[in-house]
Structure 1
Amino acid sequence: MNFKVPRGTQDILPSESWKWQQVESIIREVCDMYRYKEIRTPIFEQTELFQRTVGDTTDIVTKEMYTFTDRGDRSMTLRPEGTAPVVRSFVENKMFGYPDQPVKLYYQGPMFRYERQQAGRYRQFVQFGVEAIGSADPAIDAEVISLAMEVYKRAGLTDIKLVLNSLGDSESRNAHREALVTHFSPHIGEFCKDCQSRLEKNPLRILDCKVDREHPLMASAPSLTDYLNESSTAYFEQVKSYLEEIGIPYELDPNLVRGLDYYNHTAFEIMSTSKGFGAITTLCGGGRYNGLAEEIGGPSAPGIGYGMSIERLLLALEAEGKSFMQDPELDVYIVTLEQAARRKGFKLLNELRKAGIRADMDYMDRKMKAQMKSADRFNAKSVIVIGEDEVNDQVVQLKNMGDGSQQKVSDAAIIETIKEQLK
């Protein structure tokens, strides 16, 4: 049988994985600088967690979740997003009792959504996310956004923009909800079945519909910003002022609603503006989710966070023609010419690695010419050649692959000699 990678997934091969490692390193450095600590949650959770938090009218819950029944007849779901599991852990582990609030967390790992594969979008994708839980200060909104922008900046992206909106508090959203129902009701029969079911359950989701986004009523729909009450408007003004204070430009988009039900107040997306990126420009999205902790049985703990796709970050870098530093070169490649030399080479290889020197050797019993070609492919800075004479004389031949020079070095001095060359 011919097995292939499942549709909507990918193998990240060694020729590409080093790029992922560099992104992960950047993420860890930035999160450490901002004092966000890593949290790791299970890959699957109780299905009801996502139904209650993400929203039972969202595309994620109704169409995209990978759900299964375990042997205990419990409904489980591979996590489609990262915020609900993190907030569940926050509540379950009583992090709301920590002396230092807000609790600043970040996560990184695979998420699963059954959707049509597109460039940079997979059914299993890797998401990095940040959650700051426990503070209703608008300054933390600006901090979370600045952390995302810093990750993109350090990765090398320049063609990006921040888009903002306010979804307001419950009073503002209820007023807007009534206006949306009034607006869409007379012509709801012209919309898709999903939108028809959303009209009474959550009409805000209609604005996020991919099927009917070109319908004329979409453009003329009541704007949420027109229904923000005084406190919601004041909160949003403070978020914007903090962003301006730290020099982060933004655009306002009153139609930005995000695709998850738990968002309120600040909502944002970071988009690629590169011409070669494609039609779907969103790289990162998030917002505030006051009330989410209470929804899953915890105390009041306002929070804000976001999720960014690593696949789409790498795609955006490619669209801008940017690249990371190449996969590290090999410091030393050991070429051996017969069995005794091979044993000596293997022992030396271990000593080099213990000394912090990146080294490798041939394991295919190939001729010297083939081994030297391997050294070239690995971009080895130096090659050590060991034959019968070198074994007997307790020396090695050390060749500098940069200038072609070659010298005989004693076994006792080889490690220090290589360290000097690497300097």
Structure 2
Amino acid sequence: MSTLKAVRGTRDLLPPETELWNHVEATARRVFSRYNFGEIRTPIFEDTSLFARGVGEETDIVSKEMYTWEDRARPQSEKAQSLTLRPENTAGVVRAYIEHKLGDTGLLQKLFYIGPQFRRERPQKGRYRQFWQIGAEVIGPISAGSESPLRDAEVLEMLATFLDELGIQGWHLDINSVGSATDRPRYVAALREALAPVKHLMCEDNQRRAETNPLRVLDSKDEKDQEIIEKLPKIADFLDDDSKAHFAAVLAALDACGVPYHVNPRLVRGLDYYTRTTFEFTHGGLGAQNALLGGGRYDGLSEAIGGPKAPGIGFAMGEDRLILTLQAAQEQAAGLADFFIAPLSPDQNPAALELARELRRAGLRVELGDGSFRMKKSFEIGNKLAKKIVLLGEDEVKSGILTVKDFATSDQTKVAREQLLTSSH
């Protein structure tokens, strides 16, 4: 008898790896609670029409990737119902918002979820047919401020905080606007017109998308098609004044709270419900498939599935990929020194060696810089070799109060020399 194994595209999670999963989820719950989000748990399967109407019948998810079946265990007098394992959770959360009349409170609903989703796509690094997502949605009536660009910026600032508190360095935020419900059709029409004479030169998937969902062409990772994609019209040229003002206000709020971003005019979300702000966080440690999470605004989704007007914004992050990023960071950190000591001038070199000797005798791993290095060079080298950098200038030598920066969190603190020796274990 052959040995049974997990179905292709699925996997078992075993200790000690599950400890890291629990850490990620606990961090999400802790951070999200500070922003007044509460947890929602929706069914793993829903009526198929929810995704067809909400996500879009011509999207790859609905047309090719869903696990759908007919529920035959019903009375013979009833028609068999088509059910689908949820391929994403935004539509389910909005369905719950409508069904339970959460909009009647007149307040914003700030909801997060953690759980499995299912898509029948080609398995690859960090991507499985049963995969886990952490996501959140902010939705409510216009009177509660659900359309405000401040909501968009707050969600992005929360995500930046979450990634920072997980210790993920080097994340990158791309942001764009795909316009309003009136901007988008004009842009899609312009894309179709621009693609018509060149689509036959593109890959098979993009030829199909050019007809059914032209926005997805912009999201294509096919290298051979990038030269064509680069010449296509840009959505920014089709935004009305309200959409431009909304996007400008989002960027201004991000600037004010210090969240770095890059406006990427090619960034779109392929699902039908997205409007205005779209975004994606990426990380270089994942290679070509580098997306950590993505999301955007969906002001018309509630109406699309039969509910009241309830603008919203949300995101979903692939927990599997997040874990890969953290594991890579941990492996890198395992080879790092505890401290890189950076004397600020040659005069502090002897004191730097003395401090290094003390720390090493205390059992710590230490790399020593040189006072001839410029500050920028010391930080660059220290970031490659150590977890923390100790800045040693004339004031630090005299006072015994050292300046220490943690590369993982970017926190810079003043630490007494004696405390550095005792608190680093």
Q: Same fold (TM over 0.5)?
A: yes
Gap change, CA 1:108 and 1:229, over 3 Å in 2: same
Aligned 8 A contact 2:67 2:120 in 1: yes
Change over 3 Å in CA distance of 1:271–1:153 after alignment to 2:
same
Q: Quote the Cα distance in structure 1 between the aligned partners of 2:224 and 2:114.
A: 32
Q: How does 1:178-197 map to 2 (within 5 A)?
A: 178-197=189-208
| 1:194-244 CA-partner distances (Å, limit 9, x unpaired) | 444443443212222345762532110001011111111000000001111
Aligned to 1:373: none
Alignment correspondent of 1:84: 91
8 Å CA contact 1:54–1:262 kept in 2: the answer is: yes
Specify the SS of the correspondent of 2:225.
Answer: coil
Q: Distance in 2 between matches of 1:56 and 1:196?
A: 17
Aligned to 1:113: 119
Deviation at 1:43, TM superposition (A): 0.2
The structure-2 alpha-carbon separation of the partners of 1:210 and 1:249, relative to structure 1 and needing over 3 Å to count, comes to closer
Q: Aligned AA for 1:85?
A: G
CA distance in 2, matches of 1:248, 1:282: 18
1:318-353 superposed Cα distances (whole Å, 9 cap, x missing partner): 22236999xxxxxxxxxxxxxxxxxxxxxxxxxxxx
> Closer, same or farther in 2 for the Cα pair 1:319/1:116, shift >3 Å?
same
Provide the C-alpha distance between the structure 1 equivalents of 2:332 and 2:71, rounded to a whole number of angstroms. 43
Q: Which residue of 1 aligns with 2:81?
A: 74
Cα deviation, residue 178, structure 1: 2.0
Alignment of 1:226-265 (within 5 A): 226-265=237-276
Q: 1:278 to 1:192 in 2, by over 3 A?
A: closer
Return the alpha-carbon distance in structure 2 between the equivalents of residues 324 and 115 of structure 1. Answer: 33
Deviations 1:355-413 (A, max 9, x none): xxxxxxxxxxxxxxxxxxxxxxxxxxxxxxxxxxxxxxxxxxxxxxxxxxxxxxxxxxx
**What is the CA–CA distance in structure 1 between the aligned matches of 2:132 and 2:82, rounded to whole Å?**
23
Tell me the residue number matched to 2:36.
Answer: 35
Match of 1:269 among 267, 271, 280: 280
Aligned equivalents of 1:65, 1:232: Cα separation in 2: 33
Instruction: Give the aligned residue type for 2:62.
Output: V
1:221-370 alignment runs, 5 A limit: 221-274=232-285, 277-321=286-330
Query: 1: distance between equivalents of 2:62 and 2:284?
Result: 30
> Aligned pair in 2 of structure 1 residues 120, 78: CA closer, same or farther (>3 Å)?
same
Q: Which consecutive unaligned segments of at least 5 residues does structure 1 have?
A: 326-423
Separation of aligned partners in 1, 2:60 and 2:225: 18
Give the Å deviation of 1:265.
0.2
SS in 1 for 2:27: helix
Q: Quick check: 1:191–1:212 contact (8 Å CA) kept in 2?
A: no
Aligned-partner Cα distance in 2 for 1:175–1:70: 40
Give, in angstroms, the shift of residue 193 of structure 1. 4.6
Cα deviations by residue, 1:82-126 (Å, 9 ceiling, x for unpaired): 100000000111111114x21100001000011111111111111
The SS at the match of 1:9 is coil
Q: How far apart, CA to CA, are the structure 1 residues paired with 2:241 and 2:207?
A: 32
The equivalent of 1:125 in structure 2 is 131
For 2:126 and 2:279, the matched residues in 1 are separated by: 20
1:93 is matched with: 100
Cα 1:63–1:176 shift into 2, 3 Å: same
Supply the distance in 1 between the matched residues of 2:227 and 2:32 (Cα, whole angstroms). Answer: 43
Structure 2: distance between partners of 1:33 and 1:166: 27
Find the counterpart in structure 2 of residue 60 from structure 1: 61
Q: Indicate conservation of the 8 Å contact 1:207/1:213, yes or no.
A: no
**C-alpha distance in 2 between matches for 1:323 and 1:60:** 35
Quote the Cα distance in structure 1 between the aligned partners of 2:308 and 2:291.
Answer: 33
What SS is found at the alignment partner of 2:269?
A: coil
Give the % identical residues. 47
Please tell me whether the aligned partners of residues 215 and 270 of structure 2 are also in contact (alpha carbons under 8 angstroms).
no
Cα–Cα, structure 1 residues 215 and 153, in superposed 2: closer, same or farther, change >3 Å? closer
Corresponding pairs, count: 322
Quick one: distance in 2 between partners of 1:3 and 1:285?
A: 36
Bigger CA drift: 193-202 or 109-118?
A: 193-202
Contact 1:192 1:212 in 2 (8 A): no
- C-alpha change, 1:154 and 1:14, in structure 2 (3 Å) is same
- Structure 1 counterpart of 2:325, one-letter code: A
- Is residue 165 from structure 1 mapped to residue 176 from structure 2 by the alignment? yes
Residue identity matched to 2:126: G
Asked whether the 8 Å contact 2:202–2:225 carries over to 1, the reply is no
Aligned partner of residue 127 in structure 1, secondary structure:
strand
Any idea what SS the aligned residue of 1:304 has?
Answer: strand
What displacement does 1:8 show?
0.8
Q: Which has the larger radius of gyration?
A: 1
**Residues of 2 paired with 1:9 and 1:299: CA distance?**
38
Opposite residue 123 of structure 1, the aligned amino acid is R
| Aligned partner letter, 2:292 | L
Deviation digits for residues 37-57 of structure 1 (CA, Å, limit 9, x no counterpart)? 000000000111111111112
Aligned partners of 2:25 and 2:199: how far apart in 1? 46
Partner of 1:14: 15
One of 229, 232, 235 as aligned partner of 1:218: 229
Kindly provide the amino acid, as one letter, of the partner of residue 316 in structure 1.
T
Q: Cα–Cα, structure 1 residues 90 and 323, in superposed 2: closer, same or farther, change >3 Å?
A: farther
Provide the secondary structure at the position in 1 that maps to 2:164: helix
Letter paired with 2:183: S
Partner of 2:423: none
Q: Which amino acid aligns with 2:253?
A: Y
Match for residue 103 of structure 1?
109
Contiguous gaps of at least 5 residues in structure 2: 75-79, 141-145, 335-425
1:185 aligned partner, one-letter code:
A
- How far apart are 1:189 and its partner, in Å? 2.6
- Structure 2 length as normaliser, TM-score? 0.73
